[in-house]
Amino acid sequence: MKIAVIGGGWAGLTAAWSLLQRGHAVALFEAGRSLGGRARRIHSRALDLATDNGQHILLGAYTETLDLMRELGLDTGRLFYRERLSLQAADGSFGLRTLPLPAPLHLLAGVLGAQGLTLKERLRLISLTTSLRRHGWKTAAGMTVGQWLEQGRQSPQVIRSFWQPLCLAALNTPVPDACAQLFAHVLRDSLGGPKDATDVLIPRVDLSKLWPDELLRRLNGQSSPGAGLHLGHAVRKLHACPSGIAVDGQHFDAAIVAGNVPSTSRLLAQLEAVPDSLPYLDMLSDFDFLPIATITLKLEHPWQLPQPMLLLHDHPARLQFGQWLFDRSALAARETTEAHLPAGHIAQTGTASLLHIVISDASALQEHKQDDVVAAVTAQVQAQTQRFGPMPRVTGHDVIVEKRATFAARPGLARPTVATPWPRVWVAGDWTDTGYPGVLEGAVRSGRQAAASLLRSLA
């Protein structure tokens, strides 16, 4: 079959790969000039170097993403820095590290040994997680993470140090609003999974190099007429015909629309109404989005903090919005010891002296002048890292605010399936009903599901 995939984010690319693997001809249309969507390499003009459009991390639980990379012949051990879950506050006020023991003892021992929590707080944290596991990782319908934590009698200190950073990192939705059931799914697959499911994977290379660049090569390598990659092509017109679908006038047997919610909705709305198409479109109009900001500071020289990833305590009233701190030079230091990449790879790419500060649910930040925020966040990092000695001088910075970073994961949000009411049209994206929040693993699962559903229907 000849299939159009519209959108070259991780969902569309996964769908394209699944179809290529099964011998179909794929035409991939991507509006942007590069592949990867929200998780892609960009050129930072402010710093004049290649960086990502936002710092991303993966978990050991992202099994479908890691499998896909292996299927493409890529060495995940080389592409990621991988370590046991370690939540360490930069200011030393909190620390939790899983131990090298079989699951679930690795976590149990980690929580029991956590610094900065009283014994009662540690026991209540264990009790809440154990109770969730006992209930098959199910929470009450319509419950928020805030309500779930209150019911589990979690103290403000545990919420601030442990649950809130996890909830924001996974759902990009504040604790009082976030859907407890979606959070429970992430906990089931990470904290409740095998011991390496809680591992944190930090890309050593830029996000496009992780695997989108490899897929680009394969898409361009197809020989069937009409198949290939159309970069910089924003699809404007979909038209259903009896034997397939026309995409900007080109005929295909079927299409997978893998744009974000608004662009997918605009394209689907052009198709003739069929039974159930109106409720399907209504469902798409119910989505709401939240931003994520990444502030990058370029230092005079690499800092080499003891860990590549540290927790920051935010103080929004003082514009100190930073939640996570990533030090590229700490990654560079580990690279040489692990010898997966040529020594100095990160240094060669010019990124070793970069710090990335991540701010999820960044709505409040958008109300302030960027320069004021950068000054406040720089002061925040300096104050909270004092124990590591003075921070090298900042010689440049960049701020990326992705306004529609992810959908707001609130309880009761109905998410569409990958099969649409229109014959020969499927959708893919982290926003489809994968059981996951808006994360890379959700996008990959959605892409796989869309390709599988299409092939099942048209076989």
Q: What minimum distance in Å lies between the beta carbon of 92 and ligand FAD?
A: 24
Q: Which of residues 406-435 bind ligand FAD (CB under 6 A)?
A: 406, 429-430
Segment lying near ligand FAD (by CB under 6 A), choices 30-38, 136-144, 314-322, 365-373: 30-38
Region binding ligand FAD by CB under 6 A among candidate stretches 86-94, 272-280, 382-390, 399-407: 399-407
Query: Among 113, 326, 50, 87, which residue's Cα sits nearest to residue 199?
Result: 87
Q: Which of 4, 16, 25, 37 binds ligand FAD (CB under 6 A)?
A: 37
Q: What one-letter code names the amino acid at 123?
A: L
CB 95 within 8 Å of CB 88: yes
* Distance between first and last Cα of the chain: 10
CA triple 373-163-190, angle to 5 deg: 115
Around Cβ 99, how many Cβ atoms within 10 Å?
Answer: 14
- Report d(CA 124, CA 19) in Å as an integer: 47
Angle of CA points 159, 162, 167, to nearest 5°: 80
Smallest gap from Cβ 292 to ligand FAD, in A, equals 4
Residue among 29 and 162 whose Cβ is closer to ligand FAD = 29
Under the criterion CB under 6 A, does residue 39 sit at the interface with ligand FAD? yes
The answer to whether 144 and 177 have CB atoms below 8 angstroms apart is: yes
- Provide φ and ψ at 2, rounded to 5°: -110, 115
Q: State in angstroms the smallest separation of the CB of 12 from ligand FAD.
A: 6
**15, 19, 27, 29: which one binds ligand FAD (CB under 6 A):** 29
If one asks whether residue 165 binds ligand FAD (CB under 6 A), the answer comes out as no
- What mask, x for binding ligand FAD by CB under 6 A, covers residues 269 to 308? -----------------------x-x--------------
Half-sphere exposure for 138 (CA within 13 Å, toward CB): 5
In whole angstroms, what is the distance from residue 115 CA to residue 307 CA? 17
Q: Which residue has the tokens 């004021």?
A: 372
Pair 245, 235: CB distance under 8 Å: no
Binding flag, residue 351, ligand FAD (CB under 6 A) = no
Q: Which amino acid is present at 159?
A: I
CA–CA separation, 1 vs 222, rounded Å?
A: 13
Binding mask 234-273 for ligand FAD (x = CB under 6 A): xx----------------------xxx--x----------
Question: For 387, phi and psi rounded to 5 degrees?
Answer: -65, -15
Find the binder of ligand FAD among 4, 10, 195, 352 (CB under 6 A). 10
Q: Does 60 bind ligand FAD (CB under 6 A)?
A: no
Report the residue from 57, 290, 305, 376 that binds ligand FAD according to the rule CB under 6 A: 57
Between 402 and 433, CB nearer to ligand FAD: 402
Position among 2, 3, 5, 8 found at the interface with ligand FAD (CB under 6 A): 8
Choices 23-31, 67-75, 103-111, 300-308; region in contact with ligand FAD by CB under 6 A: 23-31
Minimum Å distance from CB 44 to ligand FAD?
14
Q: Are strands 2-6 and 254-257 parallel, antiparallel or unpaired?
A: parallel
Segment contacting ligand FAD by CB under 6 A, of 28-36, 187-195, 214-222, 274-282: 28-36
Spatial contact of 318 and 376, defined as CB atoms under 8 Å apart? yes
Binding site for ligand FAD (CB under 6 A): 6-12, 29-32, 37-39, 54, 56-57, 234-235, 258-260, 263, 292, 294, 402, 405-406, 429-430, 438-440, 442-443
